Chains A and B, each alone.
Chain A
Amino acid sequence: MAIDLTVLAMGFGSFVIFLGMHLVLMRCVRPEALLKSITGLFAVSVAAHLAVVGNLWAFKVLDLTTGQWLAALAVSFLAYGLAAFNYILCVFGPYETSVRMRLVREIAAVPAGIAEKDLRERYNEGVIVDIRLRRLIGSGDIHVEDGIYRSRTAENVFFLLDRVAGTLKTWIGK
């Protein structure tokens, strides 16, 4: 049980470090720097994770062989990675980018209710594109030249996620 709890504590400890730094950093990060800052945060947390596990190993907190320490590192890293992935895609992502969430907030801003025409004046396709362009230019995925937007890279995180979803779609048979 001690090994079990220690491995979980290592994984979730790193996630707490990631979450803490994320909550502090997000207060000052501009939308255009969002994607890069999350990648940077993840890298820093991985380094923190390695440092924590390395220290536990060095101080022989648990009586494990070298192979078992490496296995514990891999499993705790998997737990940390999954927790961070779920947090970014299921909690922070929807808050920051979801059209549905934005609509709920726009409607909530007028407690008596808002006419669809007024809603579309406040939030429309132009606003959606503006927000995305700022973010995608900041992350280096696209660039603008003489008023024409172009992809800077053939691959990015959106296409990567899309490829996995596309494989799943093929299996489901849609």
Chain B
Amino acid sequence: MLYIFLALLSFCACVGSHIHFCRSASKTVLHSKAFLGLVGCFLGIYAILCFLVPAPSPASVWGMPLKLTGGVLFVLCAPAYLTFYVLTQLMSPSKKILLVLRAQGGASYAQLVEAVRLEAFIDTRLNDLCASGCVIRQGDVCVLSPSGKSIAATLAFCQRLFGRNIGG
């Protein structure tokens, strides 16, 4: 368990470094790539620690040789943290509806549609897709770029895999 502890400690240090970085960087954009860079660095630190820290007696719980498991847990923690990090800037339509219902005690269908319209989910997402180069605006017409077509192909594959109708 020593190595699990070291892996989780390294991950906490990684998250701490990312939070420190975000506090001093621009607050209007997400710093996901910086986090991925930090994950690489701290995973390296964990690997070095595994070599440097001598293993205790393998007969005890603390001394269980779980170096690889520690590394895998570290990697699995990264997307979980990113999920919460993205949520710091992202409002989802479901959350918006629930927030409206909680704030007002109740709402009609028209009020919910209006609340979702005011949040401009479609405009902001379409602009994001254009800014990231997935969608190209040609006048009033939207077309997919090659990277957008790759995403669409992946989604079509997912639809075959999940056997579900289009979401959204």
**A interface list, Cβ under 8 A from B:** 1, 3-5, 7-8, 11, 23, 26-27, 65, 67-68, 71-72, 75, 78-79, 82-83, 85-86, 89-92, 95-105, 107-108, 112-117, 119-120, 123-129, 131-133, 135-136, 141-142, 147-151, 154, 156, 158-159, 161-162, 164-166, 168-169, 171-174
Interface centre among A1, A90, A99, by most B CB within 10 Å?
A: A99
Known contacts A97-B167, A97-B168, A126-B113; is A105 also within 8 Å of B92 by CB? no
Cβ-defined contact, B87 with A162, below 8 A: yes
Cα–Cα, bound, A71→B1 (Å):
8
Cβ-defined contact, B19 with A172, below 8 A: yes
Cβ-defined contact, B155 with A101, below 8 A: yes
13 contacts between A and B (CB under 8 A): A1-B65, A4-B66, A72-B64, A75-B4, A79-B73, A86-B83, A89-B80, A101-B167, A123-B122, A132-B97, A147-B109, A148-B108, A172-B88
CB distance from B149 to the nearest CB of A (A): 7
Taking residues whose C-beta sits less than 8 angstroms from the other chain, chain B's interface range is 35 or more
Q: Which residues of B contact A172 (CB under 8 A)?
A: 19, 22-23, 27, 88
Cβ-defined contact, B151 with A79, below 8 A: no
Q: Which residues of A contact B151 (CB under 8 A)?
A: 101, 104
Cβ-defined contact, B98 with A90, below 8 A: no
Q: CB within 8 Å of A: which of B40-95?
A: 59, 61, 64-69, 72-73, 76-77, 79-80, 83-85, 87-89, 92-95
Q: CB within 8 Å of A: which of B97-116?
A: 97-98, 101-102, 105-109, 112-113, 116
Asked if B144 is at the interface of the complex by the 8 Å CB criterion, the answer is yes
Cα–Cα, bound, A168→B35 (Å):
14
Q: Which residues of B contact A159 (CB under 8 A)?
A: 95, 98
CB distance from A42 to the nearest CB of B (A): 15
Q: Which residues of A contact B95 (CB under 8 A)?
A: 158-159, 162
Q: Which residues of B contact A124 (CB under 8 A)?
A: 122
Q: Which residues of B contact A8 (CB under 8 A)?
A: 68-69, 72
Cα–Cα, bound, A105→B158 (Å):
12
Known contacts A99-B122, A151-B102, A165-B84; is A129 also within 8 Å of B140 by CB? no
Our pick among B88, B92, B167 for the contact of A102 (Cβ within 8 Å) is B167
Cβ-defined contact, A148 with B106, below 8 A: yes
Our pick among A95, A156, A158 for the contact of B92 (Cβ within 8 Å) is A158
Asked if B135 is at the interface of the complex by the 8 Å CB criterion, the answer is yes
CB distance from B74 to the nearest CB of A (A): 10
Q: Which residues of A contact B89 (CB under 8 A)?
A: 174
Q: Which residues of B contact A128 (CB under 8 A)?
A: 93, 116, 121-122, 168
* Cβ-closest chain A residue relative to B134: A104
Cβ-defined contact, B69 with A4, below 8 A: yes
Cβ-defined contact, A92 with B94, below 8 A: no
